[in-house]
Every structure is written in C-alpha cells, then in structure tokens.
Amino acid sequence: MMKKCFITAVMLILFFLSSSAWAQIPRPARIGGTLTVDDIQITKENGASYTFAVTRPDGSSFIPSAEDADGIDDNDLYRIDIPIYDVNEQPGGARKDDPAIIHVYEDGSELILTSPAGGMLTVGDSGSLKEINLFAAGTNQPPAADAGPDQTVSGGDTVILDGTGSSDPDPGDIITYRWRQIEGIRVTFVDDTAAHPTFVAPEVSPTGESLIFELVVTDSGDLTGADQVTITVVAGNKPPTADAGQDQTVTEGEVVTLDASGSADPDDGIASYSWRQTGGTGVLLSDDTTAQPGFTAPEVGSNAEPLTFELTVTDNSGLTDTDNIVITVTPANQPPTAEAGQDQTVRAGETVTLDGSASSDPDDGIASFSWRQTGGTGVLLSDDTTAQPGFTAPEVGVTGE
C-alpha cells in the first residue's frame, strides 16, 4: 500500500524511508512548488533536495517502517539534522541547539511528526499519540574573531593581545586561536596559540611604527573567522646621561668652574641641572642649578684636600641621572729660602767655593740656582747655575778687597 507523507515547513528536508511514498505538500510562501517523496528523499519540482534525518540516542538511524510500537520511547532524546541555509529558524519554529517538543503518532511502522509550528510529516497510517523530545540541529556556523582593541605602547613595553572577545554562534563550540604578524618590525610571541599572547614592543625611531596582527579562530567544525589589530609603537623616553666633567687639581684660593656641559639626553632634552657638595670643606657655588657653576677653592693648610660634588640632570619627562666629580685642593705655593753660605776671608790666588746648598723650599722644592757677582774685582765663576760654584780669588792691594 502506498503511504502518504505531508509536510509544512520553512525549508525542504530529506527523511530516510525504507519504502516508497509520495506527498502533496501545500505551497508555503517561502518555498512554493509541489514536492514528491520517494524512498530516500523529498524533492522539489526543480530537483533541489534537502536533508531531514532522525537519529536515536545511541546514534543509529530511526527508520519508521522498520520500528515497532516500542521503537520510540517517551523519555528518549532524538536528533533532527536540518540545514539552516539563510535562515535561523528551523522548521517547526525550533532553533539550532534548542530542544523542541514534537508530537509523534505511532503504531508499529506508522509515524506522524508534528512540529509546534504546525508542520506535519505523516508516514503510514495514524495511530496513538505520544510525545517525545527531539533536538533540532542546524548547519555549523563559523566563529567570529575579535582581535581586541588597537593599542599605543612604548618601545620596550610588554604588550598583551586579547582574543577573548571572539565567539561562535553554536553554543559550546570549541574555539582555537592562531596569531600571526602581517606588518611592522618583527616580534616574537610568547605563545601564538593563546587567547592572550604577549610580546615585547621593539625600539623604534622617533616617528614610531605600526605593527599589525591577524587573529584566526577555528571552531570544532574547522570553520574559521579572522580579525586584525594594530599596535602603534612610539619611541620610549630614554633617561639622560649626567657628566660632571673631569676631576681637577687646583690650588687654594683659585676660582674653580665645574662643567656639566657633557651631559646629554637622547630624546626630549635636559630640563634642569642640580649640583650639591658631598664631601670636603664647604664651599659656596655661584649657582647650583646651572651647567657650569663656580666657587673659590678654600684654604687647606699644608695638606691637599678632596672636595666631592654630585650632579643630577633631569630630562623633560622627569627621568634623571647622576654623576660625581672630585676637586683636589692643594696648599698655595710658598717661596723658597735662599742661603748663600757663610762670609769667607781668603788669600789672593786661592780657589774659593760658594755654597748655596742650605737653600730650601717649604713645598715643591728648589728648581734652580743662579749666582751673580754684585761688587769687587770681577771674577769668573766655574758655573753660576750650580749650588756650589768656584772661582780664583784675584790679586788685590795691601789693604785687601
């Protein structure tokens, strides 16, 4: 006997049957046309076919003509796979992955499925009414990638990308992440498969650099979605370098000039200088906020004394650096004491030795001697630049000279 099948739905479906059947389906506004049912599918007049399958909880197919009255259990969860195509609502008003109550008439191999929206599929003759839970499952939808907001960072910063805004319209579908850089100075991810990968922003020129990354997310059905994020890297401010100048050795009473002009800043310039004395006899700087302050070296007695100073420079972003300098103050030079020796009485023709060896200097020593005759008969000194020059006493009258 030929069995009848009646369907009212918002899209065409395929239902597995073990025997031939036919159907005259009313023409819904969305579908239209006359459909026929053979032993494996429902086919529209133009030949297009669609899928409708019922699967038992154990995964086996439910074939109405092969089942007896006990083939469908009231408490079982069955599954209907229906292609979604361009609509979200399933036949019968059910939505993908939401449970739907479908009324089932059964009597041996006879089955009628009626959806809450009024669509009806009849296979065989009608029988007793039973109600079971069926599950409507639509076509897998691709995930939507979200690579997070664009960011502006400084060179050397640790950057965290954020793909956690990505989603999949199929509840419970698993999403995997894959990040790749597509533009800019190359960086290395800590983990390019993490939802929050990190990297260190590269050092860039004052003009900055844009780094572009692409996130691809994949669901359990291997469908993917992609999104991009731009990380703008600006030149990070570098601290200044303080240079307090070369150490100096000066004499007490001398005017000393400190010099910080060798200090520098690589980006936004030096905003201020600050000097302070950290050791030695206190002195007064002419201006402790200038690059080249001055002071007068103090008296230090007989021994040299170190004076220490610290320089702090600050750039226009508030970063600082320090340097130190030592100014060694020595006592002022004292004059030497000349000692020409004792007066002498000699005879004419005798060799005379002058003696300046008793001369002395209290600090840095005697550098030279210089003798000259200032009176009497002229004589010739053996060496007028030595401490002990000699000469021959000249002939003189009876009264001496």
Tell me the per-residue pLDDT of 1-39, one tens digit each, with 9 for 90 and over. Answer: 323 232 223 222 323 322 222 222 222 222 233 333 333
Is residue 186 pLDDT above 60, yes or no?
yes
The bridge status of strand 110-114 relative to strand 120-123 is antiparallel
Confidence of residue 382 (pLDDT cuts 50, 70, 90): very high
The string of pLDDT tens digits covering residues 77-114 is 333 333 323 233 334 443 444 433 333 333 333 334 43
Q: What is the mean pLDDT of residues 354-370?
A: 90
Pick the closest to residue 247 from 259, 263, 255 (CA basis). Answer: 259
Strand segments (E) across 239-338: 248-251, 255-257, 270-279, 294-296, 305-315, 320-330
Between 260 and 16, the higher pLDDT residue: 260
Q: Is the pLDDT of residue 149 over 60?
A: yes
Q: What is the mean pLDDT of the chain?
A: 73
Is residue 209 very low, low, confident or very high in pLDDT (cuts 50, 70, 90)? very high
Distance of alpha carbon 211 from alpha carbon 225, whole angstroms: 20
The backbone torsions φ and ψ at residue 64, rounded to the nearest 5 degrees and listed phi first, read -55, -45
CA dist., res. 7 & res. 25, Å (int):
6
Domains detected in the chain: 3-137 (no CATH), 151-234 (2.60.40.10), 248-330 (2.60.40.10), 338-401 (2.60.40.10)
| pLDDT for position 2 | 29
In this prediction, residue 293 carries a pLDDT of: 98
Is the Cβ–Cβ distance between 5 and 122 less than 8 Å? yes
Residue 139 has pLDDT above 90, yes or no: no
Strands 305-315 and 320-330: antiparallel
CA dist., res. 165 & res. 229, Å (int): 13
What is the DSSP secondary-structure string of 55-104?
Answer: E-TTS-B--GGG--TTSS-TT-EEEEE---TT-SBPGGG-BTTSEEEEEE
Of 328, 333, 330, the residue nearest 363 (C-alpha): 333
Residue 295: phi and psi, rounded to 5, are: -160, 165
Coil, strand or helix at 303: coil
Q: Which residue in 264, 243, 239 sits closest to 311, CA to CA?
A: 243
SS3 280: coil
Distance of CA 314 to the CA centre of its chain: 25
Q: Could you give the 3-state DSSP secondary structure of residue 177?
A: strand
Rounded to an integer, what distance in angstroms lies between the CA atom of residue 325 and that of residue 330? 16
Which one-letter DSSP state was computed for residue 399? T
